[in-house]
Chain A
């Protein structure tokens, strides 16, 4: 689970504060070192980690604060504020509205899990009795339309695509128009994988976005990604109006810390996580409850609020 392991390591680092008889700069540095190492091992962006360390240090002035207990509490709450910042961009995700079309466009790097997650999301809404469907606007990847077709057929999700049309903008527009006319509520647009280094692919993404005018753009990120995430996520956000993040492949061993930098870079919350290859391996992600669960780990909530 995202950050769960990390939460434990951080709890143990914070406990070193409780064990220390006096709290001085050395103790603080030791603890910060432990926390930063844990963050880096979880692939959290190194710039974010350094910032976290600086921000915590900036709050703690050993000259000024007196009592040991006070110091402990200040340090702990400073650490947690910073951790919360990592997962919580402080904005609400887009909420689809019943009874009208909600166009949701998927974007992301190659192989991150867009197509699989598109079907999962359509299915998620289908089960809740929304009229949902899928448009395959990936004309590049070999077998992309077959993938959508097979997934959707199995899950009984209406879909639109073409074997002959090569322009994804045309397909996206036609598909969305058609489904809007037919009164669909959740219209999901799958797109090709792309990366910031290839400008033409980014232009194509913008063109698709302009053509369908999505209500929400979801950036899909693979949980195993390392330090390259931030640059890519930022570039996607600069090109199109990314509003939410989904982290996939969290059923593996990955902690998802790298993918978290997509939250900071796009200033968008995580709304779902992918936990497997099957259609129902999708879990809703709510930032606030997650954070309080993280805070609740170990004895931390107690430590901060007292």
Chain B
């Protein structure tokens, strides 16, 4: 098992190298240059070229890439932002933490809403407990976070006036953006949990448990839910990964200074150091989340655990 975890952690290295290479290549082929953005449109071409030269922007692609990776690995240096002249890591880290907080809160809420409703719905199939949440989930899964965010803003800011409309600072600031990003994955969690539960409920071992006179509560919690949780865990892990990358809409709408909105903003300036470092951090987090999902998988499913135990 430990060998498996170590192997997965080591797999992070080529993943990150691959991500940096792709980002570097993409940035290299897109038009525009940082000097044009930083110095403004009226700047003579010679000055723009000189400025780009100073930034090392005109260096050959591979030279730039190797230098970047070397600085990142040897000196833990992600460079200096072309736009703000600030240390990239110092600028990115607080925003990265905010995005993580927002995403974790979003996933937590999505799980809190979606999973219990999914269980209730499966257990009470064809009742109102099933049809109403199913109908709502149908709509909510297709609801864009931006529209949902605007609705929340109107309700909680303009109408009820109980939550701040933008920024960060207190827990209250996180409620609306977290809700906005959590509703679509909550709907998905609901559907996954429900279908997975329904599949498990119809298994022979459940029928056997019932025939043996095991109380219904115990049948659901001990026999059905345990087996139904596997695909749900994967779904929750995937939604966390996609929220880290996809919280940008909520970040922009609620002015949450997260990493997604930073990357989007700096793309227009061709602020390569920020874009690349931000993408690397996101990909590291995504890979770690996937690793965590696999580990939880192994703990939940005795068959997987046994497979690795046997190997050992």
Partners in one complex: no
